[in-house]
Amino acid sequence: MDKFLALTEEKRTTILNAALQCFGKFGYEKASINDIAVAAHISKASVFQYFGSKKHLYIYLLEYCKKIIEGIFDKEALDSQTDLFDRIMTSSKIEMESFKTQPFILQFISSVWEETSPDVLDSLVILTEETCKFRNDMILREDDALKFKNPEDAGPVFQMLLLMAEGYAARYRGADTFDFDTVMDDFQKNIAILRKNFYKEEYLK
């Protein structure tokens, strides 16, 4: 793998993106090294030169994604003491911004949750653990509900927002092009509308 690290960053990300895309799309067993090599515009032999084996490459990707998520997580933890809607918005924004440069990480991560191949089953925990941590961080807090006209609506609304985020992810999964700014704009408008209708008057700054 030191062979791989010696490459230029551009070449590395091209290869990683190709691998993330193929594994994300086909799953571990159905994705072939040849698929990845073609997508990365290199030879199949080079993939083995860099990573040794298919399994090693997959595990490398798991750890690679883990590091990226850790990076997001830290930044997000900094500004976590705000309003519920602001919190959701900023964390989504950070998440989206990070994935802007790494467009295939999202579908790879979600594919990991469906992976069943015994070859890599033991290794999946590397990523699943990390993604759980990420989700738990932006959980609903107690005093969030107080701002709602009907405090009991806070939980469902939060769930609806998570659901919508999943909907966005599903809608653009596998699409080649993806206008992040437009989607975030859309999401922001939706959040504003929800806030306006659910919050007590006094919390509508």
Partner DNA sequence: CAACCTCTTGACCGATTCGGTTATTAGTGC
Partner DNA sequence: GCACTAATAACCGAATCGGTCAAGAGGTTG
Contact set with DNA (CB under 7 A): 3, 6-7, 11, 31-35, 42-46, 48-49, 52-55
Residue written as token pair 């579908």: 107
Residue tagged 């069943």 (tokens): 116
Nearer to its own copies by Cβ, of 1 and 163: the residue is: 163
The answer to whether the beta carbons of residues 27 and 117 sit under 8 Å apart is yes
Alpha-carbon 133 to chain mean position: 13
Residue 152 Cβ vs its own copies, minimum distance, rounded to whole Å: 9
Selection from its own copies, DNA, none that 45 binds (CB < 5 to 8 A by kind) is DNA
Q: Which is nearer to DNA, 64 or 148 (CB)?
A: 64
**Taking the complex as a whole, how short is the minimal distance between the CB of residue 21 and DNA, in angstroms?**
15
CA 104 – CA 107 distance, rounded (Å): 6
Q: Which option in DNA, its own copies, none does residue 157 bind, with CB closer than 5 to 8 A by kind? A: its own copies
Interface residue list for its own copies (CB under 8 A): 25-27, 30, 114, 149-150, 153, 156-157, 159-160, 162-171, 173-174, 186, 189-190, 193, 196-198
Spatial distance between the Cα atoms of 199 and 133, rounded to a whole number of angstroms = 29
The whole-angstrom separation of Cα 5 and Cα 192 is 44
Residue 46 binds what, of DNA, its own copies, none (CB under 5 to 8 Å, by partner type)? DNA
Question: For the packed helices 105-112 and 125-137, what is the interaxial angle rounded to 10 degrees?
Answer: 110
